[in-house]
Structure 1
Amino acid sequence: MRTVRGWFRETAGGLPARFWYLWTGTLINRLGSFVLVFLAIYLTQERGFSASQAGLVIGLWGVGGAVGTTIGGTLADRWGRRPTLFTAHLGAATMMLALGLARPLWAVALGALLLGAFAEAARPAFGAMMIDVVPEKDRLRAFSLNYWAINLGFACAAVLAGFAAQAGYLLLFVVDAATTLITAVVIFTRVGETRRAASPVRAGTAAPAGALRTILSDRIYLGFVALNLFAALVFLQHISMLPIAMGDSGLSPATYGSVIALNGVLIVVGQLFVPRLIRGRSRSHVLALASLVTGVGFGLTAFADVAWFYGLTVLIWTVGEMLNSPSNATLIAELSPAELRGRYQGVFSLSWQIAGAAAPILGGVVREHAGNTALWASCAAIGGVMAVAHLVSGPARERRAVALRRAAQSAVPVTTIEPPVPSTAEAAATGPAEPVRAN
């Protein structure tokens, strides 16, 4: 019992109360996150749209998300985290209902576009707020706990949605809208504004007007974002092409829901232990391994034709996802200057939105013209290339993180700092782990 209590304290103890309100909002929101998981099945089986039309609608969701995350990142820094989150959630709930009631293809496409914009506008503000309220030494476990909440909700939602869809797909849209509204109320009423008051612009620090130029000149961060874009192109095939592939194998929507729920179940069981597993290890090595494992998992989908085999592939790429997420989250936090956190979060989220628009279209084209095997083999190849890229680019990212940390501590502009190149051991030490640890 004492060991269990000690593990619990290390995992969840000492985190700020505002973090737990954010965590609760995440869990509630994800418990109702039905629509995107089943959108491809809804469009093709319930509405009778073709696979290419379904890919277009899901792609427009991603296009809207790209716009929304860009605007949301700017608003989070200028307007504030809390009003941005509340407005985005309110708009997302409204458009969720509108999408569920839409009938013509043009109305469905427009609804998906606007829903993507509102839903994704909340992400940069939420990410910036999480960084604002959690001290640097606790961020790895905080992001892991938040990620755990995301997947606990996702696992429950995937199973429940598969059966709820049998009672009517409109119910999925209604429940999703309701949980989005509840999340907005929790965050707005229980978490105060976390954005720091504007301070005079220091020499060498980007003013708001030059924020975009600052980000575009940050080649190290943009390289990291580019790698995440390729990871997202592979990962998002589980929403677009995987349900279609399982349908071609004669499997029902409920079976897909149960299989994809394994992703959330494994993360719920294992994610609380991942921070301790990767603590003190080189982040570039962890991210490289994550890319390789993810590629293998999706690659094996080419050989799947029964539910248990599809489930096995999901379990494999989920391990890669579990290794990737905490390291990604802490890197974003450490590579983002404090005064530009919202915009940096927005640029990172933009990689997901671009992938959200491109993944279903590219996946559909490859599957239609080159075949199912070629699609999943391409995912495996991308995973291998990304593993090498993370090993090559990792040391530069860690040097950049050290420079920003020193600049923040000394209030000296980062542009004047030329940190020494650390050894391999030093680079590993700059990772997300801290000596004492309590999604």
Structure 2
Amino acid sequence: MFANLASDLRAMPRPLWMLFAGTFVNKFGSFVMPFLVLHLTKHGHSPAKAGLAVGAYGVGHLAASALGGWLADRIGRRTTIALSMFTGAAAMLALSQAETFSTITALTLLLGAASELYRPACSALVTDLAPPEKRVTAFAVYRLAINAGFACGPATAGFLAEKLFIWLFIGDAITSALFGVIALATLPDGERQRGDKADWRADLKQVARDREFLCFLLAVAPITFVFFQMTASLPLHVRDVGLSSAAYGVLISLNGLIVVICELPLTSVTQRLPARPVMALGYLLTGLGYALTAFARDAWTLAGTVLVWTLGEMLASPVSLAYVAGLAPLHMRGRYLGMVSVVWALGLIAGPTWGTALYAHDAPQLWALCAGLGVASALCVWVGPERRQVEQVP
């Protein structure tokens, strides 16, 4: 297993490693959003209003998801990543000075848009550069970079949040700008579509005819609501059982640490298995892990629930990204991955907004809903059309 993994890693080109490095830097500095709900409630805003602000971040994601995919195919991966990072850094600094709730909401919407543009470009660049048979591993390394940063960042941010929250905004902005510099200096633009071939309406029609891809999007939608309770209702539950912001930061960092240690070895096995059963099991475990939060009243039990839903994440996420990359025509990789980002953005809107409202009304009902949505996603991906590949040679 480890010999195969080492061979897969050696096959990856240098620009991929630079992309992974920039991703790590950016995710290490993702200080603000995991703590925004706690920050706003600490300053007198209700949980529902705090959830609305985070939901506005999701609206920005939604607006930028499809645009990010189009830009990745049209102006190139590198340029799209740099544009996203520099705009996000500016928006974060502006948010640090916001005082009224309306201004905070408007800026989180802008930040959500700016920070989402790069995702389809990164995923498309991984697809461009990695050999097809190594893509699951490449996406696992990409996620390792994300989660290694996320393992270190929130734990650091949790302790900073107890002292002076402004440093979270500054650090977040600096790391975003640094990724922008790395992108401009080291990354290629990847596959691009030029001229009158870039017909967005025709491409939408092609996506609408792709039943396999549409079924996958339908399967992903419910689990996104569940996943985003991590930064919405979960911190409220941690607070309500008497734990601190630092404890919440450690729990979120535990998620990243488990992924860093376990996902690559796990992926060396799952990339050789049929994609749909692996994704279905991942979605089931994700729903179950969040449902068990209802019974977790101390840090150790909460850590156990994190272990369960993290296992689900490790099973489903790298396989699903490679699955979509295999379905996408060469000239539409950015847009296919952008459509996946659109679905995740809808979850980022619905998860915090409805999740925090339902938590305030009836918390056990929220956690039970997470279990049901995990089952729904698993069933949809399990009974969907068989996987097909449309890999094209440039």
**Normalised TM-score (structure 2):** 0.96
User: What CA deviation, in whole Å up to 9, does each residue of 1:389-421 have, x standing for no partner?
Assistant: 22111xx241x32xx13xx25x9xxxxxxxxxx
Distance in 2 of aligned mates of 1:11 and 1:256: 35
User: What CA deviation, in whole Å up to 9, does each residue of 1:87-111 have, x standing for no partner?
Assistant: 1111000001111111100110011
Which residue does 2:354 correspond to in 1?
Answer: 362
Residue correspondence of structure 1 range 45-60 to structure 2 within 5 A:
45=42, 47-60=43-56
Give 1:44's aligned amino acid.
T
Aligned with 2:337 (options 345, 350, 362): 345
Which residue does 2:72 correspond to in 1?
Answer: 76
User: What CA deviation, in whole Å up to 9, does each residue of 1:215-245 have, x standing for no partner?
Assistant: 2332321221121121111011011000001
Give 1:67's aligned amino acid.
A
Distance in 2 of aligned mates of 1:318 and 1:354: 21
Pair 1:34 & 2:31 matched: yes
Q: Is the 8 A contact 2:74 2:194 kept in 1?
A: no
Which residue does 1:295 correspond to in 2?
Answer: 287
- Where 2:36 maps in the other structure, the secondary structure is helix
User: What CA deviation, in whole Å up to 9, does each residue of 1:308-329 have, x standing for no partner?
Assistant: 1111101110000000111111
Residue correspondence of structure 1 range 98-117 to structure 2 within 5 A:
98-117=94-113
Distance in 2 of aligned mates of 1:397 and 1:167: 52
**Structure 1 residues 192 and 280, CA, compared in 2 at 3 Å: closer, same or farther?**
closer
Which residue does 1:380 correspond to in 2?
Answer: 371
- Where 1:23 maps in the other structure, the secondary structure is helix
Q: CA deviation at 1:196?
A: 3.8
Distance in 2 of aligned mates of 1:251 and 1:271: 28
Aligned with 1:14 (options 11, 15, 22): 11
Which residue does 1:44 correspond to in 2?
Answer: 41
Name the % identity: 37
User: What CA deviation, in whole Å up to 9, does each residue of 1:300-354 have, x standing for no partner?
Assistant: 1011111111111011100000001111111110111111111111111011111
Q: CA deviation at 1:131?
A: 1.1
Which residue does 2:383 correspond to in 1?
Answer: 392
Q: CA deviation at 1:382?
A: 1.3
Q: Is the 8 A contact 1:128 1:345 kept in 2?
A: yes
- Where 2:343 maps in the other structure, the secondary structure is helix
Pair 1:260 & 2:257 matched: no
Distance in 1 of aligned mates of 2:36 and 2:218: 27
Pair 1:329 & 2:321 matched: yes
Distance in 2 of aligned mates of 1:303 and 1:149: 32
Q: Is the 8 A contact 2:221 2:377 kept in 1?
A: no
Distance in 1 of aligned mates of 2:22 and 2:379: 37
Of 260-269 and 275-284, more deviation after overlay is shown by 275-284
Aligned with 1:122 (options 99, 118, 122): 118
Aligned with 1:216 (options 188, 200, 208): 208
**Normalised TM-score (structure 1):** 0.86
Which residue does 1:156 correspond to in 2?
Answer: 152
Q: CA deviation at 1:53?
A: 0.7
User: What CA deviation, in whole Å up to 9, does each residue of 1:144-177 have, x standing for no partner?
Assistant: 1111111111010111111111221110011011
- Greater C-alpha Rg: 1
Aligned with 1:147 (options 143, 158, 165): 143
Distance in 2 of aligned mates of 1:36 and 1:266: 21
- Where 2:188 maps in the other structure, the secondary structure is coil
Q: Is the 8 A contact 2:223 2:287 kept in 1?
A: no
- Where 1:280 maps in the other structure, the secondary structure is coil
User: What CA deviation, in whole Å up to 9, does each residue of 1:42-92 have, x standing for no partner?
Assistant: 1111x2211011011000000011001121111111222222211111100
- Where 1:236 maps in the other structure, the secondary structure is helix
- Where 2:50 maps in the other structure, the secondary structure is helix
Give 1:176's aligned amino acid.
D
Distance in 2 of aligned mates of 1:133 and 1:125: 12
Q: Which consecutive residues of structure 1, in runs of 5 or more, have no partner in the other structure?
A: 412-439
Aligned with 1:190 (options 181, 186, 204): 186
How many residue pairs were aligned? Answer: 394
Distance in 2 of aligned mates of 1:49 and 1:348: 32
- Where 1:250 maps in the other structure, the secondary structure is coil
Which residue does 1:229 correspond to in 2?
Answer: 221
Q: Is the 8 A contact 1:11 1:272 kept in 2?
A: no
Q: Which consecutive residues of structure 2, in runs of 5 or more, have no partner in the other structure?
A: none
- Where 1:48 maps in the other structure, the secondary structure is coil
Distance in 1 of aligned mates of 2:190 and 2:377: 35
**Structure 1 residues 223 and 187, CA, compared in 2 at 3 Å: closer, same or farther?**
same
Give 1:212's aligned amino acid.
L
Which residue does 2:270 correspond to in 1?
Answer: 278
Q: CA deviation at 1:195?
A: 2.3
Pair 1:94 & 2:86 matched: no
Q: Is the 8 A contact 1:221 1:397 kept in 2?
A: no
Give 1:92's aligned amino acid.
G
Q: Is the 8 A contact 2:219 2:376 kept in 1?
A: no
Give 1:255's aligned amino acid.
A
